[in-house]
C-alpha cells in the first residue's frame, strides 16, 4: 500500500499570455508569462486516492494534464514507478476521466466503439471478438447493460455517460486514473452513484486515483490524502482526516470554513474578504498574504518553504520568533 506509484517533483508550468507578436513589438511591451503551476511536489502511493483541491485558477487541472502527459511541464518531473527517467509509462497505463461527459464522448460513435478504442490504440486486444467480450464485461462492471453498446451517447443521461467514460478509461487496463472534476456536471443523487462506483472499482481493481475537485465534501469522501492548491502552489498536503480535523494552512482553514454545511443550519458567519488574485500578477512573497488573517510582515517579502505538510511562515517557529 505504501509503495509510491507516482512522484512529482518541482513541477512548473508557464503559459505565454502575451499579445500577438507584432502588436507587442509595436507597443514595446515585454512578453507576459503566467505561472500556472510552480514548485509542486507530491507522491501518490499505489491503491490510494490523492486529491487536489483549490478554487478556479489554482492550477489543479494543469497539474492533472501534466501528469497524464497532455501538457509538457516547463520544469520539474513527473515520474511513474518502474518507468525509466525521461520516458512515459506504457500506453494505457495512465487514463483520464473528464468533467463534462457531454463533451468527452464522440457523439457519432457507438458506445461499444468508444469503449473499444483504447484497446485498439494500445494494442492490448488484437481480435474483434475478444474486444467485444471485454466491452460487454466493462459495461456490466460500470452498471450498464451489454446491450447499451449499440446505442449512441445522446441516448444516455449525464450519469450514464460518465459511466461510459469510466468504462472507456478502464478498457486499457490502467493502474492510474486522473479524474478531473468527474462529478461537477452531475446532480447530487447521480454524483453519489458515480462516487460509489469509483470507490468500488478502486477496491476491486486496485486502482490509484488522482482526484481533482473544487468540492471539499466530495474530496473528503473520496480521498486518502489531500493537497490544497492556491495560485499554482501547493500550500498543504495531509491525510484526509487530519486535514479536516486540524488544517495547518490558513487558506485550508478558510476553504473548509467557507463550505456551506448541512449540519449548521442558519449559521451566520464572517466570511474572509477578497477574491483569488490574478495569476498574471500574483502578490509578492506568500501569494495568500493579502487575504490571510494572520499575515506577518515577512509574508509579503518571502515565499514560505514547504515544510511538514504546509507552506506557511506562521508554522515555522524561527520566523514567528523573529517577527
276 touches another protein (CB under 8 A): yes
Nearest distance in Å: CB 142, another protein? 14
34 touches another protein (CB under 8 A): no
Q: Which of 322, 237, 221, 231 is nearest to 279 (CA)?
A: 231
State the DSSP code for 128: H
Dihedral, 249, 224, 307, 297 alpha carbons, nearest 10: -10
Burial 133-149 (b: 16+ CB within 10 A, else e): ebbbebbebbbbeeebb
Q: Which cell numbers in the block locate residue 20?
A: 500577438
Nearest distance in Å: CB 134, another protein? 26
| Maximum distance among all Cα pairs of the chain, rounded to whole angstroms | 71
Between 3 and 275, CB nearer to another protein = 275
126 touches another protein (CB under 8 A): no
Nearest distance in Å: CB 216, another protein? 6
Which of 34, 190, 295, 316 touches another protein (CB under 8 A)? 190
Stretch that binds another protein, among 36-44, 65-73, 215-223, 295-303 (CB under 8 A): 215-223
3-state secondary structure of 276: coil
Beta strands in 181-224 (DSSP E): 208-213
281 touches another protein (CB under 8 A): no
**In whole angstroms, what is the distance from residue 269 CA to residue 188 CA?**
25
Nearest distance in Å: CB 135, another protein? 23
DSSP characters over 65-115: HHHHTSS--SEEEEEETT--TT-PPPTTSEEEE-S-TTTSS-TTS-HHHHH
Nearest distance in Å: CB 169, another protein? 21
Nearest distance in Å: CB 213, another protein? 11
Q: Which cell numbers in the block locate residue 21?
A: 507578436
Give the helix ranges, DSSP H, for 226-274. 240-245, 250-258
Which of 1, 204, 268, 293 touches another protein (CB under 8 A)? 268
Give, for 42, the enclosing helix (H) or strand (E). strand 33-45
Between 78 and 228, CB nearer to another protein = 228
Stretch that binds another protein, among 79-87, 93-101, 102-110, 154-162 (CB under 8 A): 154-162
218 touches another protein (CB under 8 A): yes
101 touches another protein (CB under 8 A): no
**Do 167 and 115 meet the contact criterion of CB atoms below 8 Å apart?**
yes
Query: What residues between 222 and 251 interact with another protein by CB under 8 A?
Result: 240-241, 244
Burial 95-125 (b: 16+ CB within 10 A, else e): bbbbbbbeebbeeeeebbbbbbbbbeebebb
294 touches another protein (CB under 8 A): no
Which of 187, 239, 302, 308 touches another protein (CB under 8 A)? 187
214 touches another protein (CB under 8 A): yes
193 touches another protein (CB under 8 A): yes
Which of 87, 189, 281, 318 touches another protein (CB under 8 A)? 189
Nearest distance in Å: CB 176, another protein? 23
- Binding residues for another protein, rule: CB under 8 A, are 55-56, 157, 159-160, 187-193, 195-196, 199, 214, 216-218, 220-221, 240-241, 244, 254-273, 275-276
Amino acid at each position: 500500500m505504501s509503495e509510491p506509484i507516482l512522484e512529482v517533483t518541482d513541477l512548473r508550468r508557464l503559459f505565454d499570455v502575451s499579445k500577438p507578436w507584432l502588436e507587442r513589438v509595436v507597443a514595446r511591451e515585454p512578453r507576459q508569462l503566467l505561472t500556472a503551476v510552480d514548485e509542486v511536489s507530491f507522491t501518490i502511493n499505489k491503491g490510494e486516492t490523492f486529491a487536489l483541491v483549490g478554487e478556479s485558477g489554482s492550477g489543479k487541472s494543469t497539474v492533472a494534464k501534466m501528469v497524464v502527459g497532455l501538457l509538457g511541464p516547463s520544469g520539474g518531473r513527473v515520474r511513474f514507478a518502474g518507468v525509466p527517467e525521461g520516458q512515459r509509462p506504457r500506453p494505457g497505463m495512465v487514463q483520464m476521466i473528464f468533467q463534462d461527459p457531454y463533451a468527452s464522448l464522440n457523439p457519432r460513435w457507438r458506445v461499444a466503439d468508444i469503449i473499444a478504442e483504447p484497446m485498439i490504440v494500445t494494442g492490448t486486444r488484437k481480435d474483434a471478438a475478444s474486444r467485444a467480450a471485454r466491452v460487454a464485461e466493462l459495461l456490466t462492471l460500470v452498471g450498464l447493460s451489454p446491450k447499451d453498446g449499440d446505442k449512441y451517447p445522446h441516448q444516455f443521461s449525464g450519469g450514464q455517460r460518465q459511466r461510459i467514460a469510466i468504462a472507456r478509461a478502464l478498457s486499457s487496463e490502467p493502474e492510474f486514473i486522473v479524474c478531473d472534476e468527474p462529478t461537477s456536471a452531475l446532480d447530487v443523487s447521480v454524483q453519489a452513484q458515480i462516487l460509489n462506483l469509483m470507490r468500488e472499482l478502486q477496491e476491486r481493481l486496485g486502482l490509484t486515483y488522482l482526484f481533482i475537485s473544487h468540492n471539499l465534501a466530495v474530496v473528503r469522501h473520496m480521498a486518502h490524502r489531500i493537497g490544497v492548491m492556491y495560485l499554482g502552489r501547493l500550500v498543504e498536503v495531509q491525510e484526509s482526516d487530519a486535514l479536516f480535523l486540524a488544517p495547518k494552512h490558513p487558506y485550508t482553514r478558510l476553504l473548509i470554513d467557507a463550505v456551506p454545511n448541512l449540519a449548521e443550519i442558519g449559521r451566520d458567519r464572517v466570511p474572509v474578504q477578497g477574491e483569488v488574485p490574478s495569476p498574471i500578477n500574483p502578490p509578492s512573497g506568500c501569494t495568500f498574504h493579502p487575504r490571510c488573517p494572520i499575515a506577518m510582515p515577512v509574508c509579503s517579502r518571502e515565499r514560505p518553504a514547504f515544510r511538514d505538510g504546509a507552506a506557511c511562515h506562521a508554522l515555522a517557529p524561527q520566523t514567528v520568533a523573529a517577527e
